[in-house]
Amino acid sequence: MSKLIYFAGPLFSQAEREFNLRLTADLESIGFDVFLPQRDGVESRIEPYKSMSKDDRRRCMFELDRDKIIDCDIFLFILDGRVPDEGAAVELEIAYMAKQQRQKLIVGLHTDSRAAFIGAKINPMLYIPLEFIAETYSELTDYLQRIED
């Protein structure tokens, strides 16, 4: 049975969405199941979400993402950006707390050279829950492929 990856990260620009889709396709090609919120989550343009109020749609989004985070085997956080995505930061903490009930691996990808903190690239509240942080795309896929084998 393949492991489920929850893909957390920014998904608001065309470049971010295209990167997310490409990495997801690569992870799926090496045997992982991936929950990618931009592809698999609550979408306002499709039913039943299209007919819901914004508040109901937001609640569904939160609950679906929360449940997928709790159920995943691997939580992947894309840390790139001037600062990591705030929604993904909340998702990281959900994954970290859920790990106490269900074994899961929590990993990050940080290819960005910018640092938000003096003397550290990543806020300690994000850094400490991460068990592994890849600095390149291939380092991440190689690491995860070794886990899947």
Q: Where along the chain do its domains lie?
A: 4-148
Query: What is 4-148's CATH number, 3.40.50.300, 3.30.465.10, 3.40.50.450, 3.90.1260.10?
Result: 3.40.50.450
pLDDT digit string, tens, across residues 46-86: 888 889 999 999 999 999 999 999 999 999 999 998 889 99
pLDDT of residue 118: 63
What's the mean pLDDT in 100-110?
A: 94
pLDDT of residue 11: 92
Q: Cα(74)–Cα(3) distance, rounded to whole angstroms?
A: 7
Q: Cα(44)–Cα(49) distance, rounded to whole angstroms?
A: 5
pLDDT at 121 over 90: no
What's the mean pLDDT in 107-136?
A: 88
pLDDT at 148 over 80: no
What's the mean pLDDT in 24-38?
A: 97
